Structure 1
Amino acid sequence: MNFAKLSSSFVFAAAIASASGSVAAADYRNNPFTLVYDGAIRQNEAGKVNIRPVSYTVNGIKIAANVYTPANFDPNKQYPAIVVAHPNGGVKEQVAGLYAQKLAEQGYVTIAFDAAYQGASGGELRYVDKPANRIEDIRGAADFISQFKGVDAKRIGLLGICGGGGYSIKAAQTDKRFKAVATISMFNSGDARRNGFMRSQTDSIQQRLQQAADARAQEAAGGEILYTPAFAAGMTKEQVAALPYDLYRQGYEYYAQTHAHPNSKTNFTVSSLLDLMAFDVNTQVELINQPLLMIAGEKADSLYMTEEVFANAKGTQNKELFIVPEAKHIETYWKPEYVKPISAKLTGFFGKNL
């Protein structure tokens, strides 16, 4: 199959999946829970936030997750809980875990999970990436955490990051167990796969749909499973600098170098595009009647995605668009100068609405 004209967003995904980078700033091998963010829990201690690896099933697929409990957690009391959905290609040990831990420090029980077919979760084919699955993953996390001893099932919030933010918007439209919804650097996966990032690939939509259909046909015939294309491992600084967008350049550095995790593979099956390209976060947004907080960086090249969805969230009067000065998309994942105000904003939002 000729992938020469596949969307540049697919190429980016494959690049950060396959390349080997420098030693990570927060090396997963140095953490007992393989967490790769600064300040991550290294051991469970009395009187502090604790982490508990758990598993459960969603539609017959085993899901791997981490539950974070607040300091001095008492299962005989009732705590509000927050489901945290990771970015496209990310895993629970990266930015989702960072914000889950930050919120647990504020008194919430939080759960960060790996999407089905991805990370440490089960499911075959590996790295199938279909929106319906990702939305069901979020609902499944709510199923689990609402039954967790010590959680008040009437006070469940939802936080989605990047692609997980887009899927959280869709989940919250119909699942009213989520009493408050927040996103960080929301990414409209369907729009990006269909039209290209920043609408740069609209002239090749039909060609790419045909390629996805051909890949599905090849799978059905027992042939090779095709994945979105990969760059050669170990991009040079010059190659990274030549990538066309900040999201790509900084995404490569985050996923392949500074916060790399072996379970984080950001490419996906080509046949997944049959579902991804027909998907759009920015539909039926008016169904959200819950309090809504959308956070994005001032200089993020993905900012347009958050702004469009926020404008169409006309079903709630309790909504806020919080722009982080100077921040770019990936920088909201880890840079302390941006994580701090984002965490404070989330704490205030969930504190008021849960």
Structure 2
Amino acid sequence: MSKLIRHTALAALLGASGAELMAADYKKNPYTLAYEGAITRNEPRKVNIHPVTYKLNGLDISANVYTPANFDPKAKHPTVVVAHPNGGVKEQVAGLYAQRLAELGYVTITADAAYQGASGGQPRSVDKPANRIEDIHGMADFISQYSGADSTRLGLLGICGGGGYSLAAAETDKRFKSVATVSMFNSGRVRRNGYVDSQLDTVQQRLQQASAARAQEAAGGAVMYSGDANLSDEQIAKLPFDLYRQGYEYYWKTHAHPNSTFKYTTSSLIDLMRFDATNQIDLIQQPLLMIAGTKADSLYMTEDAFAKATGAKDKELFKLEGATHIETYWVPKYMAAATAKLDTFFGRTL
């Protein structure tokens, strides 16, 4: 059993559970990391974090590179690109998975999406699939040139919305030798059909709103936003889905970060609503691992994508028994199981 698994298993035994949300205060971390057990300083012979900035299509991209305890910049280490959830930033769950993989010997990188987080781009919170997919290609560009990273052993991990975009990126970017997702979220399907396909009757109405928002922007008017809400505890408790209830808890309270937001430009829906993470998914021929909780109300998206990924002959759907979508972001026992599975997968395929 690795040190990581021992550590997280111990945390679970000490009482961490899905019912106990632990606070992770970004203000107390010098790198503003908002997850438990985050690096607070770089020390020799330990996992280190390296904030970096690079250009992608003229924009400054803000990223964190994690290097393992045995890191030798003159050697070649297996490397994993980590894509963050919708509305998330590199300091939250993407950073947690990146650090955990670094503890197992991988060089990892996670970057804020263009127009989001600490990365550049105006207007803020543009959320177009083409941009998010290009962000993943851009992380691969940068980390492939990083001293000590092995570009011939490059893996891809996408979480939530980053999972859907990772599938799309891996369809054509064969630098990724294998691809994994955790709690995959098909952003196009949800923006088009509603969560659990609950808004099928308002597709055209919402497309009209998106078109009007784009016209307003083009005319020099105010940028319109969707998805932004300031809900009370009572309102959150009445939300119809676990993902939304627990998502508000995670992003607004226990693991909040000032760069993280649910909002996105309404005009982005023009692009989002014609996107689907499973379009051309048969082009993925790399080994594929998809991880999701058995109690996640988003599980249907992972199961749908997995079934359609007919080009991947080496593929596995790994379910975390009892986990909801958001619980795969932070609950120690689910993190331990997911990370152990990712280590086995990347260890075999990279």
How far, CA to CA, are the matches of 2:227 and 2:54 in structure 1?
32
Q: 1:277 aligns with which of 261, 273, 276?
A: 273
Q: 1:118 aligns with which of 100, 106, 116?
A: 116
Q: CA RMSD in A?
A: 1.0
Corresponding position: 1:345 with 2:328: no
**Residues 70 and 105 in structure 1, CA contact (< 8 A), matched pair in contact too:** yes
Q: 2:240 aligns with which of 232, 244, 269?
A: 244
- Residue of structure 2 in register with 1:336 after alignment: 332
How far, CA to CA, are the matches of 1:224 and 1:288 in structure 2?
40
How far, CA to CA, are the matches of 2:75 and 2:184 in structure 1?
33
Q: Deviations over 1:265-301 (max 9, x none)?
A: 1210000000000000111111000000000000000
Using the TM superposition, give the Cα deviation of residue 303 of structure 1 relative to its aligned residue in structure 2, in angstroms: 0.2
**Residues 48 and 70 in structure 1, CA contact (< 8 A), matched pair in contact too:** yes
How far, CA to CA, are the matches of 2:261 and 2:55 in structure 1?
22
* AA partner of residue 213 (structure 2): A
Flag the structure with more relative contact order, 1 or 2, with Cα contacts below 8 A and sequence separation at least 6. Answer: 1
Q: Look up the SS of the partner of 1:308 in the other structure.
A: helix
Corresponding position: 1:187 with 2:185: yes
Task: Output the TM-score relative to the length of structure 1.
Answer: 0.92
Any runs of at least 4 consecutive aligned residues in structure 1 with deviations exceeding 6 A, and if so which?
none
Aligned length, in residue pairs = 330
- Residue of structure 2 in register with 1:84 after alignment: 82
* AA partner of residue 89 (structure 1): G
- Residue of structure 1 in register with 2:36 after alignment: 38
- Residue of structure 2 in register with 1:10 after alignment: none
Using the TM superposition, give the Cα deviation of residue 230 of structure 1 relative to its aligned residue in structure 2, in angstroms: 3.3
Aligned-residue sequence identity (percent) comes to 68
**Residues 24 and 260 in structure 1, CA contact (< 8 A), matched pair in contact too:** no
Q: Deviations over 1:126-184 (max 9, x none)?
A: 10000000000000000000000111111100000000000000000000000010000
**Residues 290 and 318 in structure 1, CA contact (< 8 A), matched pair in contact too:** yes
Corresponding position: 1:205 with 2:192: no
Using the TM superposition, give the Cα deviation of residue 188 of structure 1 relative to its aligned residue in structure 2, in angstroms: 0.3
Using the TM superposition, give the Cα deviation of residue 351 of structure 1 relative to its aligned residue in structure 2, in angstroms: 0.3
* AA partner of residue 329 (structure 2): Y
- Residue of structure 1 in register with 2:301 after alignment: 305
* AA partner of residue 172 (structure 2): T
Using the TM superposition, give the Cα deviation of residue 236 of structure 1 relative to its aligned residue in structure 2, in angstroms: 3.2
How far, CA to CA, are the matches of 2:310 and 2:53 in structure 1?
37
Task: Output the TM-score relative to the length of structure 2.
Answer: 0.93
Q: 2:291 aligns with which of 270, 291, 295?
A: 295
- Residue of structure 1 in register with 2:51 after alignment: 53
Using the TM superposition, give the Cα deviation of residue 229 of structure 1 relative to its aligned residue in structure 2, in angstroms: 5.0
Using the TM superposition, give the Cα deviation of residue 24 of structure 1 relative to its aligned residue in structure 2, in angstroms: 7.7
How far, CA to CA, are the matches of 2:123 and 2:22 in structure 1?
29
**Residues 282 and 309 in structure 2, CA contact (< 8 A), matched pair in contact too:** yes
Q: Deviations over 1:176-210 (max 9, x none)?
A: 00001000000000000000000000001011001
- Residue of structure 2 in register with 1:327 after alignment: 323
- Residue of structure 1 in register with 2:16 after alignment: none
* AA partner of residue 160 (structure 1): G
- Residue of structure 2 in register with 1:260 after alignment: 256
Using the TM superposition, give the Cα deviation of residue 72 of structure 1 relative to its aligned residue in structure 2, in angstroms: 2.9
Q: Look up the SS of the partner of 1:311 in the other structure.
A: helix
Residue 229 and residue 163 in structure 1: after superposition, are their counterparts in 2 closer, same or farther (change >3 A)? Answer: closer
Q: Look up the SS of the partner of 1:67 in the other structure.
A: strand
* AA partner of residue 298 (structure 1): T
How far, CA to CA, are the matches of 1:350 and 1:201 in structure 2?
38
How far, CA to CA, are the matches of 1:337 and 1:106 in structure 2?
17
Q: Deviations over 1:196-251 (max 9, x none)?
A: 0000000010110011000000001111110015333xx33321110110000000
Using the TM superposition, give the Cα deviation of residue 337 of structure 1 relative to its aligned residue in structure 2, in angstroms: 1.3
Q: How does 1:96-175 map to 2 (within 5 A)?
A: 96-175=94-173
**Residues 68 and 101 in structure 1, CA contact (< 8 A), matched pair in contact too:** yes
How far, CA to CA, are the matches of 1:214 and 1:231 in structure 2?
21
How far, CA to CA, are the matches of 2:100 and 2:292 in structure 1?
18
Using the TM superposition, give the Cα deviation of residue 256 of structure 1 relative to its aligned residue in structure 2, in angstroms: 0.3
Q: Look up the SS of the partner of 1:230 in the other structure.
A: coil
Q: Look up the SS of the partner of 1:81 in the other structure.
A: strand
Q: Look up the SS of the partner of 1:80 in the other structure.
A: strand
Using the TM superposition, give the Cα deviation of residue 84 of structure 1 relative to its aligned residue in structure 2, in angstroms: 0.1
> Structure 1: which 5+ residue stretches go unaligned?
1-22
* AA partner of residue 125 (structure 1): P
**Residues 90 and 265 in structure 1, CA contact (< 8 A), matched pair in contact too:** yes
Q: Look up the SS of the partner of 1:255 in the other structure.
A: helix
